[in-house]
Amino acid sequence: MKTMSAKASEVQREWFLVDASDKVLGRLASEIAKILRGKHKPIYTPHVDTGDYIVVINAERVILTGNKENSKVYHRHSGRPGGLKTIPVAEMRKTHPTRIIEKAVGGMMPKGPLGRAMMSKLKVYAGPEQPHQAQSPKPLNF
């Protein structure tokens, strides 16, 4: 037997639809990250993007367990002295509800060009409408 190493030209991608309403954020993000990386496929190769496309709808209705809704904050820094910005989850949910899932999944992806290419296959929408009906995504249940 020979060890198979996937090539980028051999990868066949599928589209999946995930409804995030009433799902726990961390468990949902880990399953999405697994599919984006391609770890669910037998041809998985760590240095090749073998993952599939994921469309997430109802991102505004995702659940955080425990007291995270009140205590979790997101940080970003401008690089300048005193440039630290902190945004609580409640405010992020009002202004940019899609970023909650994007940041959770992004933290589970590889860092660098390969991880950014994998993250470009993630499409997150706050409500139930999404413009990817032409790809006919298969529904996934976690």
Q: Where are the beta strands (DSSP E) in the chain?
A: 15-19, 53-57, 73-77, 84-88, 122-124, 138-140
pLDDT band at 1 (very low <50, low <70, confident <90, very high): confident
pTM of the model: 0.93
Per-residue pLDDT of 40-75, as tens digits, reads 999 999 999 999 999 999 999 999 999 999 999 999
CA-to-CA dists, residue 82 to 64, 75, 88, angstroms = 30, 13, 18
Per-residue pLDDT of 68-103, as tens digits, reads 999 999 999 999 999 999 999 999 999 999 999 999
**Helix or strand or coil: residue 52?**
coil
Is pLDDT of 3 > 90? no
Is pLDDT of 37 > 90? yes
Q: What's the pLDDT at 142?
A: 81
CA-to-CA dists, residue 71 to 3, 10, 88, 100, angstroms = 47, 45, 7, 14
**Helix or strand or coil: residue 129?**
coil
Q: Domains of the chain, with CATH numbers?
A: 13-63+97-140 (3.90.1180.10)
Nearest to 139 by CA among 3, 21, 60: 21
Segment (H or E) for 113: helix 113-119
Percent of all residues in the chain with a pLDDT value above 90, rounded to a whole number: 96
Q: What's the pLDDT at 128?
A: 97
